[in-house]
A and B are shown apart, each in its own frame.
Chain A
Amino acid sequence: MALALENVSKHFGSLVAIRNLSLSFDVGSIYSIIGPNGAGKSTVVNMIAGSYSVTSGTIRLGATALNRLPKHRIAQLGVSRTYQNLRLFDGMTVLENLEVCFFPQSWLTFLTGAKRLSKAERLDICHACLAEFHLSDVADVLAGDLPYGRQKILELARAFVTQAPIVLLDEPAAGLNHTETKDMAAMIAGLKREDRAIILVEHDMDMVMSISDRIDVLNYGELLCSGTPDLVRTNERVQEAYLGTTEELDDIRKLAQSRRAQGGLRANAGIVRH
């Protein structure tokens, strides 16, 4: 199964967040989407998952066009995701956070029980998943009571528990410290499978470089370059996008100096106009 973006654009009002983007993701690999802040990385994830509508173009999973489908249908077709800022069900236990994923997906299954997992089967799968993610010891702890790092891992587990073929990870390392990030990278690398595509949006370059099979670099909503980590690392345009040209660096320095001269930002400037 493959996920493909065909000439996808996304406008927010007059702002063009994504312009004519075409990408394709096959199962069996880990992909990373990187780019400077505001490049449109998260927008891509949100469009695939159906949180954002697509202004033009098509997103296909296999032969099915995903855009225009409601969000829950997209998830049912096999796209699961994590969120940039943690969104667990804080008031429910770790185990329950996974169990919810197995709610019967249609009225028919719900009423007839056909294709529906029994409670024992459901629990078996969830417990196996918890063991895989080293969360078995906290199965009955409320998700909101876990330390941050383990909440991140729980969200990862929730994205993988249903064996979705397409998994979108929105900044899995955000807020983690150095060791935790390394563990997270190892964990994601270990989740690579023949029948699964993992698509990663991430800022941590070490992580991206170490686990990705292909990296897509976005800048201002357009594909700057795409290829193996080595290829991307040496690409001049990527360096430019990230670090800026020498003239731009000078400009930035000047601007910073003039700001400092003004005595910092005015505190009330931002809130007044609407």
Chain B
Amino acid sequence: MGNSVIVRRLGLLAVLALCVVLLALVPYLPSYYVRVADSILIYIILAVGLNLVVGYAGLLDLGFIAFYAVGAYAYALLASGQFDIHLPFIVVLFIGAAAGAIAGVLLGFPVLKLRGDYLAIVTLSFGEIIRIAINNADELTNGPQGIAGLDRASLFGLPLTSPVHFYWLLLVLTVIVCAGVYYMERSILGKAWRALREDQDVVRGLGINTTTLKLLAFALSAAIGGAGGVIFGAFQRFVSPESFTFQESLLVVLIIIIGGVGNIVGVIAGAVVLVILPEILHFAAQYRLLIYGVVLVTVIVLRPGGLVSPRFNLGFIIRKVRTLWLSPSKT
């Protein structure tokens, strides 16, 4: 028995070490790959944020990208030559998150009593309204031309200019966001959200104000979206309305569904697949989108519950690691 425990511990260590090494090696890859990795990480953050609303609280939000736009434009307006305001990146990061949350509450307050598809279409409309407004508020946002030449960001004196810098920043943020959401998922708040998804009438009957509960999910997810937008703005150093179309909202929803709703591990898998797939398909030239669509439909028909089984979640992995380490005889 002793031997097999050692083997399994070594195996576990090897897997963990491999993950760390792989993540640490990314910056040494050619710039293109680092950019793809950055993109994956941004979408993980967005999807984990949206998952609070879609996966946990069971509300379909099809206008999520609006909060992302709010964050990106916050950086564009507060850290560029547009109005000659140059706030530091970290300050705008918090402003962007706060602005996202406020937008979330403003949208959520009137509409959260709507059910299901009505909520979906209203959030969708909200996303479109934000985009069209940005497109046309020329004095503020330069309209369709967008705002270019955003400030080079820096964080605590460290420059944030190359994709590699952003890789590290995004990696740290991804870990923070995932850990935070995981903690929330296990708290009583997470349980109340899951109950809400199952039967909101009964939840009300238990003395819980469901509007507050939904609003909280909306605000938190919007704050994550806003923060993601600030990073996007700092990374691209250019924002324009066409980055925030309905299709982008759908992509984030797709990531969640294809990975496995309500499951952080699933969301990570979904982001990896859906960001890498179009990159791989570059060879197919004009057939790229066609193949992408076919793969998408095939995957969902073959694995309707998502790529990752709901049982294989962060909690499962942590439990597994812990039991193997602390009391291996139980496994």
Contact = CB atoms under 8 A, between A and B. Distances in A.
Contacts of B205: 49, 51, 71-72, 75, 80-81
A83 interface: yes
The residue among B198, B203, B206, B208 with the most chain A CB atoms within 10 A of its own CB is B206
A100 B188 contact: yes
Interface residues of A, number: 30
A24 to B, nearest CB: 23
B206 A87 contact: no
A72 B194 contact: no
Given A72-B207, A101-B206, A89 B188 contact: no
B194 A103 contact: no
B192 interface: yes
Nearest to A95: B191
A96 B192 CA distance: 9
A165 to B, nearest CB: 13
Max chain A C-beta neighbours (<10 A), residue from B195, B203, B210, B212 = B195
Contact of A83 (B189, B194, B202, B204): B202
B209 interface: yes
Contacts of B208: 72, 75, 100, 103, 105
A162 B207 CA distance: 10
A184 B189 CA distance: 32
B206 A75 contact: yes
A103 B188 contact: yes
A5 B65 CA distance: 50
Contact of B195 (A71, A73, A89, A104): A89
Interface string A86-116: 0101111000100111111111000000000
B139 interface: no
Contact of A92 (B191, B209, B210): B191
Contacts, number: 71
A99 B191 contact: yes
Contact of A76 (B195, B202, B207, B212): B207
Interface string B153-197: 000000000000000000000000000000000001101101100
Interface in A11-59: 49, 51
A122 interface: yes
A89 B193 CA distance: 11
B199 interface: yes
A92 B194 contact: yes
B194 A102 contact: no
A103 B198 contact: no
Contact of A89 (B189, B199, B210): B199
Nearest to B197: A91
Contact of A96 (B189, B191, B202, B210): B191
Contacts of B199: 87, 89
Contact of B209 (A72, A81, A89, A96): A72
A72 B210 contact: yes
B195 A102 contact: no
B198 to A, nearest CB: 4
A75 B188 CA distance: 18
A89 B203 CA distance: 9
Contacts of B206: 72, 75, 80, 100-101, 103, 158
A96 B201 CA distance: 17
B204 A91 contact: no
Contacts of B209: 70, 72, 105-106
Interface string A135-163: 00000000000000000000000100010
Contact of B192 (A73, A81, A103, A119): A103
Interface string B196-232: 0011011111111110100000000000000000000
Contacts of A158: 206
Nearest to A77: B207
B207 A75 contact: yes
B207 A89 contact: no
Interface in A255-274: none
A120 B208 CA distance: 21
29 contacts: A71-B204, A72-B209, A72-B210, A75-B204, A75-B205, A75-B206, A75-B208, A76-B207, A80-B205, A80-B206, A87-B199, A87-B201, A89-B195, A89-B198, A89-B202, A91-B198, A96-B194, A99-B191, A100-B188, A100-B191, A100-B203, A100-B206, A103-B188, A103-B192, A103-B207, A103-B208, A107-B212, A119-B188, A162-B207
Interface of B: 188-189, 191-192, 194-195, 198-199, 201-210, 212
Given A75-B207, A83-B202, 16 more contacts: A49-B205, A72-B204, A72-B205, A72-B210, A76-B207, A80-B206, A87-B202, A91-B194, A96-B194, A100-B191, A100-B195, A100-B206, A101-B206, A103-B188, A103-B189, A103-B207
Q: Top 8 closest A-B pairs, CB basis?
A: A75-B207, A76-B207, A89-B198, A103-B192, A71-B204, A100-B195, A72-B204, A89-B195
